[in-house]
Amino acid sequence: MSGEKRSRVEMSFVDTAGSDFTLQNLPYGVFSTQGGSKRCGSAIGSYVVDLAAAATAGLIPNTYAAVFSQETLNEFMGMGSAAWDEVRSALTKILSADCDDLQNNAQKDSILIPMADTEMHLPARIGDYTDFYASKEHAFNIGCLFRGKDNALQPNWKRLPVGYHGRASSVVVSGYDFPRPKGQVLPRDKTAAEDTVYRQSMVLDYELEMGIFVGPGNKMGESIDVNNASDNIFGLVLLNDWSARDVQKFEYVPLGPFNGKNFCTTISPWIVTSAALKPFTTEAPVQDPPVLDYLTENNRTSYDIKLSIGITLNGTTKEVVTCKSNYSKLYWTAEQMLAHHSSTGCPMNPGDLLGTGTISTEEGEDMGMASLLERTSAGKKELDMGDGNVRKFLQDGDRVSIRGFCESSNGERIGFGECTGCVLPALK
């Protein structure tokens, strides 16, 4: 990274010290103010840039005023990298300390709004949501629990990115607290299907994931080339795909997850773009055996995104970190997921969301295991949470928070904010 770029990052006229949202980041989201409508924004330090207001004032190209006045980012996502680069360049300029265009603008206070005065919303109209199973470590850990070490990975796992279609209507933005789900379960002491009962889930879990927002996409019948797939990735968010493991256990054969997954999926509100992540590019894991041609990448890379997940137990204020992981360890890349999804001619549309699946790694002392199912060996052991508290799975009132950031050797940092949600008692 050049010294010039570093200087510009440090010279933003907005104080970004200690913030995830530096001048190098400039993520996109959808916000509202009290009494105001939803509209598109970007984040810098502790402020939101009202993009529609900035365009109307001529600080970014006026042609985007109508686009950013909308309640979602879908149209902007669909415009492609030329438009994304144009807006990013304009934002970088007006937020730099050596540019007076915004600092001296009469509309500054209506363009640069304190985050504390805003409410965040889903950044896109999510037409479709697909969740993958892209972490080799996670797939192996789960396979060992249910099939043993010798048969941990299913025969198809290294041949293609395994996934399932999720429920887009229950994707919510960070801060949404949801009631414990109910479902049909087979009690632990029963073995016959006729002994199932309908009750609240007693085995509620989190999953540390990331979400990938699709850009322009492809027409029906066409497919996305894996080596051009990055042009169709708008950006990434943190994602928690909450799981009712007891509901899932009984229902998943033969078609996979259904009600055990469809009740709530939480994402962080700010989409960190591919352009912002580019300086943190790193090598992706080697795939062995080699994959088929349509999944073979000429330049196989990922991003060095440091991830963590923590639980604030009901009745406490102290958060206990239960996992540390890294996006770069995923066996299947975002580009491969997108190429495979579209390989049948399935149309991918702006605002579609892909989940990576649980991102477990080989971090020492079980800290790389990104679900409680793994950490507790499917509930066979307790997880020490300190101060005499233990958990096998989540209890009512527990708050789960996912965080993620990238940081270079010279201290430059971009982050994703927070993805948080609390488990409420089941509805009667």
Residues designated catalytic: 138
Nearest to 330 by CA among 351, 301, 359, 350: 359
Nearest to 172 by CA among 51, 263, 301, 306: 263
Burial category of 418 from C-beta neighbours within 10 Å (exposed 0-12, middle 13-18, buried 19 and up): middle
285-288 contacts, C-beta under 8 A, 24 or more apart: 285/136, 285/329, 285/330, 285/331, 287/158, 287/331, 288/158
Q: Could you tell me which residues come within 8 angstroms of residue 2 by beta carbon, excluding any fewer than 6 positions away? A: none
307 to 130, 146, 371, 391: CA distances (angstroms) = 21, 27, 13, 21
What 3-state class would DSSP assign to 97?
A: coil
Nearest to 243 by CA among 290, 201, 205: 205
Q: Could you tell me which residues come within 8 angstroms of residue 139 by beta carbon, excluding any fewer than 6 positions away? A: 133, 152, 153, 157, 162
Q: How far apart are CA 95 and CA 9, in angstroms?
A: 10
Question: Would you give the DSSP letter of residue 283?
Answer: E
Residue length of the chain: 428
349 to 77, 131, 268, 274: CA distances (angstroms) = 9, 16, 20, 17
Residue with tokens 């916000």: 31
Nearest to 92 by CA among 242, 276, 227: 276
Longest pairwise C-alpha distance within the chain = 73
Residue with tokens 């060095």: 304
Nearest to 233 by CA among 211, 251, 207, 250: 211
**Structure token pair of residue 4:** 């010039």
Answer for the pair 206, 308: CB distance below 8 angstroms, yes or no: no
